[in-house]
Amino acid sequence: MTETTSSPFQDPRSLYSLNEGLLASEDLRGLNLLMSFTGFADAGHVVTQINGELTDHLAGETVAVFDIDQLIDYRSRRPRMTFTEDHLSDYVPPSLVLYRMIDALGKPFLYLTGSEPDLQWERFTLAVLELVRSLDVNLTAWVHSVPMPVPHTRPIGATVHGNRPELIEGISAWRTTLELPAAIGHVLEYRLAAEGRNVVGYAIHVPHYLADAEYPPAAVAGLEYLGAAASLMLPSERLREAGRAVERQINEQVQASTDVAAVVSNLEKQYDEHSDVSARRSLLADENDELPDADELGAAVEAYLASRDAGSPGDNGTTTP
């Protein structure tokens, strides 16, 4: 029988290239790893905003670059280009990069960010696990966002999951069992936990009527959860200021529509009623522990979303909700 050998292209390490110079000059072992991927939900553009804040405001060096051509289906998720008058002036290709960053207090950490892979999830997962093992990552914390029937007038909530009870207890109000479409972050969390690696994930709750807009307060909440989990001082000042401007715009639009104001009021009532019951129940569930369907929020919200000028820029470069 002829002995078969595996193709080198099946080696998950062939998915990325390492910055050998950085690895030789810096001790990256034992750091905490943050992760955020665009392409799954990203209600309120939370992941996009977090990525922008970290990469724009913190010093960072590339540790590893993934071969994005092996991981992305360009025709289903086409990159953006800029057409200026009579020529193409800019092209933003997708990327997936592992950085070494320094927080505001000078503490180093790792940050894996970029486009969620469309292809080769198993290979990509093995590649990340290999990096986590070789760098002996202390804790992996990741964040994403989901639209939920909650009012913008109440504190931003989160569903927390992972294998670190001290980072979960007292935060996550939603305790239930359900099947859901997986993101690559879920798969990585599942595999890391199976290996006994410390991991925690945060699903930030974004008011579902603001899910298509850029909602800075939710991004601030995501940064706060990540920072607390990994003991990091992460930048959020610009997003806080942008959030105040967006909140003013939202309040003006709610006050201008009695229908929308009624919907928000009903959401506030539901939120407040359930906030007084056991934390083991969902703040969003009915008496049967069933989450309300988006349709139950009423035609007023649909009319509000349809009339929203999604293309007009708001203050601080945000999109007017």
pLDDT tens digit sequence for 120-149: 999 999 999 999 999 999 999 999 999 999
SS (H, E, C) the chain: CCCCCCCHHHCHHHHEEECHHHHHHCCCCCCCEEEEEECCCCHHHHHHHHHHHHHHHCCEEEEEEECHHHCCCCCCCCCEEEEECCEEEEEECCCEEEEEEECCCCCEEEEEEEECCCCCHHHHHHHHHHHHHHCCCCEEEEEEEEEECCCCCCCCCEEEEECCHHHHCCCCCCCCCCCCCCCHHHHHHHHHHHCCCEEEEEEEEEEHHHCCCCCHHHHHHHHHHHHHHHCCCCCCHHHHHHHHHHHHHHHHHHHCCHHHHHHHHHHHHHHHHHHCCCCCCCCCCCCCCCCCCHHHHCHHHHHHHHHCCCCCECHHHCECC
pLDDT of residue 292 exceeding 50, the answer is no
For the 8-236 domain, the top CATH level (class) is alpha beta
pLDDT tens digit sequence for 163-187: 998 888 877 656 678 888 899 999 9
pLDDT tens digit sequence for 80-94: 999 999 999 999 999
pLDDT of residue 318 exceeding 60, the answer is no
* Averaged pLDDT, 37-50: 94
Using a 10 angstrom Cβ sphere, with 0-12 exposed, 13-18 middle and 19 or more buried, the burial of residue 245 is middle
Q: How many residues does the chain have?
A: 321
Mean pLDDT is lowest, of 50-54, 252-256, 303-307, 317-321, for 317-321
- The whole-number pLDDT of residue 79 equals 92
- The whole-number pLDDT of residue 245 equals 96
- The whole-number pLDDT of residue 9 equals 55
pLDDT of residue 201 exceeding 90, the answer is yes
More confident residue, 7 or 235: 235
pLDDT interval class at 276 (50, 70, 90): low
* Averaged pLDDT, 12-33: 95
- The whole-number pLDDT of residue 125 equals 97
What integer best gives the mean pLDDT of the chain? Answer: 85
pLDDT of residue 2 exceeding 70, the answer is no
- The whole-number pLDDT of residue 8 equals 52
- The whole-number pLDDT of residue 274 equals 77
pLDDT of residue 205 exceeding 60, the answer is yes
* Averaged pLDDT, 5-17: 76
- The whole-number pLDDT of residue 211 equals 94
pLDDT interval class at 35 (50, 70, 90): very high
pLDDT interval class at 212 (50, 70, 90): very high
